[in-house]
Amino acid sequence: MSPTLTAQLPETSAPRMPRVHYLNVDYGVKSWLLTTDHKRIAIMYLVVATLFFALGGTFAGLMRLQLLTPHSHLVQAETYNKLFTMHGLIMIFFFLIPSIPAVLGNFLIPMMIGARDLAFPRLNLASWYIYVLGGLFTITAAATGGVDTGWTFYTPYSSVYSNTNVVLTVVGIFITGFSSILTGLNFIITIHKLRAPGMTWGRLPLFVWAHYATSLIFILGTPVLAITLVLVGLERLFHVGVFDPALGGDPLLFQHLFWFYSHPAVYIMILPGMGVISELVTCFSRKRIYGYPFIAGSSLAIAVLGFLVWGHHMFVSGQSVYAGMAFSLLSMLVAIPSGVKVFNWTATLYKGSISYHAPMLYCFGFIGLFTIGGLTGLFLATLGIDVHVHDTYFVIAHFHYIMVGGAIMAYMGGLHFWWPKMTGRLYPEGWAKLAALIIFIGFNLTFFPQFILGYLGMPRRYAFYPPEFQVLNVLSSAGASILGIGYLIPLVYLIWSMRYGKPAGPNPWNAKGLEWQTTSPPPTDNFTEPPVVEEAYAYAND
């Protein structure tokens, strides 16, 4: 054998791990905790977010166990109230909001635009520390008695009446908000200033467009939440009358301020997922994404319109009838850009060359579940129907179709798509497909019955319920156990793959983004030579 042949053979038959990459460039805890590499910071976010997901999921599991019977003695009402509060807080502020942006966005945005890192690498590390610090406050609040206000902190219950750890929790959420703000700032500046030659706005990956829109909400909305939470704290600690009418305050003012952030926060959670889906659907149908300007534009439309619909959470609150009508109309409008995205993804499949890899199965799951979640959102935007289903399980089902069926499905799809890039290794695809199927079935069994429960009139946040609702609750709890198994399987095989998975090679999916033009895992500086972009989504050139 000639020396040249032996050197080439492994290259072409089985990919090998690169000799030096961002994971093995340095070892030891310090090399992680003091890193400014966006890829390492993304992994640190991944670890912490996964822990929070497990914690939030455990709380959900206990709730579903309680709701197996109408008058369960598993936990007392007070404990149940703390369970749903902690489930909501952890899942929203410590998992869903940071998950796709801070894990996948952090890892991919610099790579997708051909940059070496984010614009402010140290600030990026600071965001992670702020996130962890906020999390520690909230966990401490949970461990030292818990909090029972619901994740919505409605006043005057939260500011005066609740005798649980409200202030500690609020401080935790307040701190974590700054992590969002700084990440958003970092993303916006990076996208503006660090694009590779040829990476014009019209060639920007849709994943990046989605994160740009998300970052706008981060920096415009999060400060309002911070201010609101400070006001709750002031009223609670120093009896400054802001929200409690007994102190001269206005209880509805809190709801206006809270939802001014928290409705856009819904789009913080779903827009990055839509960005993931845009990348998956184009790669696995081997076709240029259909309607690029409409998908990019609809992300911005959602970000802007999302700030004008908060009052649809307050149709029965006693706000004026005409305010209700304005918010209903605006809420209808915000549904349109979401619909535009779904239609464009579907059109992308047309005349493609579609393969059913695991990420694509999650992508199909997303399209189906997000469609149901979006359509049921129209029911809630309709005044006459919302009056009946407001604060019932119909709402719970709707937003879980968006948050779990949409955002988490996309997160799982994205994780499976970019896992080979992040770790350099392939996971067992059969298991991944099985997990996607189990999650899909478990999810629907958990949440579909809740639509029916809601229209029947079962209110949310009930530790006990009338016996006629039991059958549907049992179905939902059964689904939750399947869903739990579905989430455990990837945890096992993904960790397994980090050591035993086959080396993936630079581009196992034959995808066209810049992140696939470098080794897997990438070197610390991402690219050995600066990339030049000539075309976006060049799948037609195969």
Partner 1 sequence: MERWLPLFPERASTISGQVDRLFGFEIVVAVFFAALIFALVLVFAVKFHRGRSRPVADDMRLELTWTLIPLGVTLVMFAWGADIFFQGTHPPRDAMEITVVAKQWMWKFQQPTGQREIDTLHVPLGRPVKLLMTSEDVIHSLFVPAFRVKKDVLPGRYTTLWFQATRLGTYHLFCSQYCGAQHSSMIGWVYVLEPSAYEAWLSGRRATSASPVDSGRALFQRLGCITCHVQAAPQRCPRLEGLYGKTVKLTTGQTVIADEGYIRESIIEPQAKIVAGYQPVMPTYTGQLKEEDVLDLIAYIKSLSPPLEEGNQ
Restricting to residues 325-344, which ones interact with partner 1 according to CB under 8 A? 325, 328-329, 332-333, 335-336, 339-340, 342-344
Query: Any contact of residue 433 with partner 1 (CB under 8 A)?
Result: no
Q: How far is the first Cα of the chain from the last one, in angstroms, to the nearest whole number?
A: 34
Nearest in space to 457 (alpha carbons), one of 539, 390, 511: 390
DSSP, collapsed to helix, strand or coil, labels residue 400 as helix
The stretch near partner 1 (CB under 8 A) out of 29-37, 125-133, 183-191, 314-322 is 314-322
42 vs 463, which CB is nearer to partner 1? 463
**Diameter over CA atoms, the chain:** 90
Structure tokens belonging to residue 18: 């690169």
In this structure, which long-range contacts are made by residues 160-166, counting pairs with CB atoms below 8 Å and at least 24 apart in sequence?
A: 160/235, 160/236, 160/244, 160/246, 160/247, 164/82, 165/141, 166/232, 166/236
Query: Any contact of residue 538 with partner 1 (CB under 8 A)?
Result: no
Which of 36, 140, 382, 481 touches partner 1 by CB under 8 A?
382
Least CB distance to partner 1 at residue 275 (A): 19
Site residues (CB under 8 A) for partner 1, limited to 244-263: 244-246, 251-252
3-state secondary structure 402-436: HHHHHHHHHHHHHHHHHHHHHHCECCCHHHHHHHH
133 vs 478, which CB is nearer to partner 1? 478
Nearest in space to 327 (alpha carbons), one of 381, 395, 388, 392: 381
33 vs 540, which CB is nearer to partner 1? 540
Phi/psi-derived region of residue 35, left when phi > 0, alpha when psi is between -120 and 50, beta in every other case:
beta
The stretch near partner 1 (CB under 8 A) out of 179-187, 205-213, 379-387, 439-447 is 379-387
Contacts of 134 (CB under 8 A, 6+ apart): 93, 94, 172, 173, 174, 175, 176, 177, 178, 179
Least CB distance to partner 1 at residue 217 (A): 22
Site residues (CB under 8 A) for partner 1, limited to 148-167: 148-150, 152, 154, 156-157, 160-162
Which of 291, 428, 506, 523 touches partner 1 by CB under 8 A?
291
Query: Any contact of residue 540 with partner 1 (CB under 8 A)?
Result: yes
Query: Any contact of residue 304 with partner 1 (CB under 8 A)?
Result: no
How far is 229 from 235, CA to CA, in rounded Å? Answer: 10
Query: Any contact of residue 302 with partner 1 (CB under 8 A)?
Result: no
Query: Any contact of residue 456 with partner 1 (CB under 8 A)?
Result: yes
Query: Any contact of residue 468 with partner 1 (CB under 8 A)?
Result: yes
Least CB distance to partner 1 at residue 6 (A): 34
Query: Any contact of residue 484 with partner 1 (CB under 8 A)?
Result: no
Phi, psi (5° rounding) for residue 459? Answer: -70, 155
Which of 178, 379, 401, 418 touches partner 1 by CB under 8 A?
379
How far is 204 from 41, CA to CA, in rounded Å? Answer: 23
CB 128 within 8 A of CB 135: no
CB 380 within 8 A of CB 402: no
Which of 35, 106, 262, 376 touches partner 1 by CB under 8 A?
376
Least CB distance to partner 1 at residue 91 (A): 17
144 vs 355, which CB is nearer to partner 1? 355
Query: Any contact of residue 354 with partner 1 (CB under 8 A)?
Result: yes
